[in-house]
Structure 1
Amino acid sequence: MYPVKTADNVSADTGISANTISKWLDRGSAPTSWAFLRLLSAYGPDLVCAVMDSPPAWLDRAAKEQRRERIEAQIADLQSQLEGGAR
């Protein structure tokens, strides 16, 4: 989701310190249960599917729906920009 400044962006989404997130990314530590719940709250079923080897079908469907909604929102934003630029 954030190929650049990952820790800073995840920190902004979750309220978890960027330093802590950097340690996870460097594999120096792993999220606590509390931190994982914060991540889950921010990223939903997509996150759970990403960390599971074989997510159940219902969770996979929920993640796909989440991605669809995110893409539709991006399309709506781009459409709005196109319409605003045409004026």
Structure 2
Amino acid sequence: MTSFLRAQHPLKTAQCVEAETDISASTVRKWLEQGNAPSGPAYDALVRRYGAPFLCAVHPEQADEWFAEVARMQEQVHLERAVAVMKRRLDDVREGRA
């Protein structure tokens, strides 16, 4: 979980998680520094904010679960959007618009 949160927010991890989840930064710091686990409500807040990718990070041994498929589909959508942006930029360069 801590690796996931740090990857999402490389700088000021605790403060960023607090801003996105309303979990206090001091609580998040305890997870990051002491290895404490989140409470039920905090875990729920993390799942609500970070979704299937968070569940995959927390439960890597369950790669065949529904959330792994959801995370894969979300990543595919993200990548397809990025490709579409790049294609538009390439078209602009080819047409002399950039």
Q: What TM-score comes out, normalization by structure 1 length?
A: 0.74
Q: Which runs of 4+ in 1 moved over 6 A?
A: none
Size of the aligned set, in residue pairs, is 81
Structure-2 change in CA distance of 1:44 and 1:24 (3 Å): same
Matched, 1:27 2:31: no
Alpha-carbon RMSD: 2.3
Structure-2 change in CA distance of 1:70 and 1:14 (3 Å): farther
Structure 2, unpaired ranges of 5+: 1-7
Structure-2 change in CA distance of 1:69 and 1:8 (3 Å): farther
Q: Percent identity?
A: 35
Matched, 1:61 2:55: no
Q: What TM-score comes out, normalization by structure 2 length?
A: 0.66
Structure 1, unpaired ranges of 5+: none
SS in 1 for 2:36: coil
Q: What's 1:3 paired with?
A: 10
Greater Rg over alpha carbons, structure: 2
Instruction: Report the Cα distance in structure 2 between the residues aligned to 1:25 and 1:55, rounded to whole angstroms.
Output: 23
SS in 1 for 2:34: coil
